[in-house]
Structures are given as C-alpha cells and as structure tokens.
C-alpha cells in the first residue's frame, strides 16, 4: 500500500522534474517507522536521502527576518535572516571555520560557522546573513551558519549594542564576595583568603562589586554590579570602602553596610545575561530617593 506520506515525498521531487520510485520511497519510510521513528522525522530523513542520491539542493526552510534581540526570546532551531555587523572573531578551531560575535542595534550574539560554509566574515563589515539557524551554547543564544547560508555585504553600517533586558524586583539577598574584594593582579580572579586559585598567595588589588539575588515575584536572578554602578548605587566609592575596612579592621563591614542599604528594596535593572548571571548595565531605585537613581 502506498501512503499519502510517500506520495507527498514523490511530489516534492516531481515538481523539480526528478523521477523517483514510489515503492522504494514507501519501503524506506516503513523501515524507519518500524524502527520507531516518528512519521514526520522519517519523512524528512527519506527526503534528505533521495536529495543526496539525486544530487539535488532542496531549498532551506523559509527564513524570517529577525533582529538579534528577538533571537533572545524565540525558541532555538529557527531558520532566520539577520542584518548584522561582525564585532569580533575568535581563534579558528578545527571543528569550525569561524566563530565570533555579530550584532545589530538590538543586541550582540555569538556565531559559529561550520566548515562547509562557502564564505568567511570580516570584522567591521556589515552583512545580510540569510538562512542561519538559531541555537544555544552553554545557555547563551547562538547563531549557526551552515552550507545553505548566504552572506551579502551591506553598504550601510549596522550599529551594534549589547543585548539588555529590563527586570523589576526586590533584592532579597546579597552574596558573599560582595562589597570590598581583592582581585589577583594577573588574572583578575577574586582572591579567597588572600590567595588566587591559579596564582596562589598574592597581594591583590582592591575592587568593589555587588552580587545579589533579585526576585521579580516569578523568578529569581543573580545580578552583578561592577565597581562604577556599586559606587553610584551605594554612594560608597572605593577609597571610602578601603577606609571603612581599615577602621573596622574587617573587609566585611562594607558588604554589611551595602546589605542594609539594598536588601528588601525594589529596583528596575537593565541587564545583559551571561549564562545564568545578569550583568547590570543600569539600575533605577523604585522606592523613592534613598538611593541615587541612575542609568548608564
């Protein structure tokens, strides 16, 4: 018996003027289905097999035009077209032709280009990339270029900006390692008990930061404020923090002071997600004038 699925498959090739054996299609389909492969997947697999046997290039699934920012909120494995500039390229790997970062005015994203991609991208140039696939790598959105992808150089220059999203919520806790900290001068890692995990006991350099948990009522986020935002939010600059620690003979006083200021208060933060960590790019207090509101 010939199924409708087999006829669908034959039709795809008939439309391209390619003859196929319907019984062979049915046999191949049945083999896969009997192995427990879902019909839709079996269909795709048979189409792919015939296409490669007959040496036909089937057009890629139709791709939508999207902004980079939109890719952060659509499910992975979508075929898309993007207008982007290349902001940097990583070292070439054996497994990949190129990898790096591309972006537009709504965000930046990592990309990876497989070995069969027929072109290379150059830093600083702007392109229309067609038929690229969205995905994730270590929880970070990523774009993959494949052999169906196309690149057209654009005359206009695409501006790029890191992706940010806005979250409103209350700070419910401040993590240890916040306030006045010391970093390894070589690798910038935060020292623990005066030692770097890589470089051993070392006289570190002071830095300020806040690592805290923000709760928006539905989810909790680990947010990180670097030195400048920590200083503006708390009014404690690095020199004052060092003086406070010296007076108290204890570095922890700075964190304790910060906890008193921010725990239980509401903020709107603009963040760039890096895996599970939300790097704060701007913060506004939603609870009046206790703390300097600011936006960077």
Task: Kindly list the residues in this chain that would bind Zn ion in the complex (CB under 5 A).
Answer: 184, 186-187, 189, 196, 198-199
Phi then psi for residue 280, to 5 deg, are: -80, 125
- 269 backbone dihedrals φ, ψ, rounded to 5°: -115, 145
Q: How far is the CB of 226 from Zn ion (least distance, A)?
A: 18
Q: How far is the CB of 210 from Zn ion (least distance, A)?
A: 22
- Who's near 183: CB < 8 A, 6+ residues apart? 189, 190, 191, 204, 205, 206, 207
* Nearest distance from C-beta of residue 195 to Zn ion, angstroms: 9
Of residues 206, 207, 209, 205, the one with CA closest to residue 174: 209
Residue with smaller CB distance to Zn ion, 192 or 220? 192
Nearer to Zn ion, 141 or 204 (CB): 204
Q: How far is the CB of 201 from Zn ion (least distance, A)?
A: 11
Which of 196/244 has CB closer to Zn ion? 196
Quick one: 203 or 247, whose CB is closer to Zn ion?
203
Contact, 283 vs 210, CB < 8 A? no
Q: 19 burial class (0-12, 13-18, 19+ CB within 10 angstroms)?
A: exposed
Q: Which residues contact 28 (CB under 8 A, 6 or more apart)?
A: 46, 49
> Nearest approach, Cβ of 185 to Zn ion (angstroms)?
8
Element (H, E) at 85: strand 79-89
Note the residue count of the chain: 296
Residue number, 39 or 187, with CB nearest to Zn ion: 187
> 131: phi > 0 → left, psi -120 to 50 → alpha, else beta; which?
left
CA pair distance 266, 270, nearest whole angstrom:
13
User: Which residue, 150 or 183, is less far from Zn ion as judged by CB?
Assistant: 183
Report in angstroms how near the CB of residue 207 gets to Zn ion at its nearest. 13
CB contact at 8 A, 56 and 16 = yes
The residue (of 11 and 201) whose beta carbon lies closer to Zn ion is 201
Residue 174 C-beta-side C-alpha neighbours within 13 Å: 21
For Zn ion, the nearest residue by Cβ is 184
Q: Name the minimum Å distance from CB 183 to Zn ion.
A: 8
The minimum distance between CB 181 and Zn ion, in angstroms, equals 13
Nearer to Zn ion, 72 or 206 (CB): 206
Burial (Cβ within 10 Å: 0-12, 13-18, ≥19) of residue 99: buried
């Amino acid at each position: 018996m010939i199924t409708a699925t087999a006829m669908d498959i034959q039709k795809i090739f008939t439309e391209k003027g390619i003859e196929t054996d319907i019984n062979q299609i049915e046999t191949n389909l049945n083999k896969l289905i009997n192995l427990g492969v879902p019909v839709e997947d079996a269909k795709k697999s048979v189409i792919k097999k015939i296409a490669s046997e007959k040496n036909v290039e089937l057009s890629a699934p139709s791709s939508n035009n999207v902004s980079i920012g939109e890719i952060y909120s659509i499910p992975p494995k979508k075929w898309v077209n993007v207008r982007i500039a290349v902001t940097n390229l990583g070292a070439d790997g054996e497994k990949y032709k190129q990898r790096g970062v591309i972006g537009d005015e709504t965000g930046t994203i990592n990309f990876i280009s497989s070995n069969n991609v027929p072109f290379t991208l150059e830093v600083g140039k702007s392109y229309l990339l067609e038929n690229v696939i969205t995905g994730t790598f270590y929880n970070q959105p990523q774009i993959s270029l494949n052999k169906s992808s196309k690149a057209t150089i654009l005359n206009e220059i695409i501006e790029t900006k890191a992706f940010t999203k806005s979250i409103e919520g209350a700070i419910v806790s401040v993590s240890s390692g916040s306030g006045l900290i010391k970093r390894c001068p070589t690798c910038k890692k935060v020292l623990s008990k005066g030692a770097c995990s890589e470089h051993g006991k070392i006289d570190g350099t002071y830095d300020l930061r806040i690592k805290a948990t923000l709760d928006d009522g539905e989810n909790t986020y680990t947010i990180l404020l670097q030195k400048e935002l920590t200083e503006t939010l708390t009014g404690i600059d690095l020199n004052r923090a060092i003086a406070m620690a010296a007076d108290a003979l204890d570095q922890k006083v700075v964190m304790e002071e910060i906890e008193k200021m921010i725990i239980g208060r509401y903020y709107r933060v603009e963040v760039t997600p890096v895996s599970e960590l939300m790097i704060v790019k701007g913060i506004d207090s939603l609870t009046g004038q206790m703390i300097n509101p600011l936006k960077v």
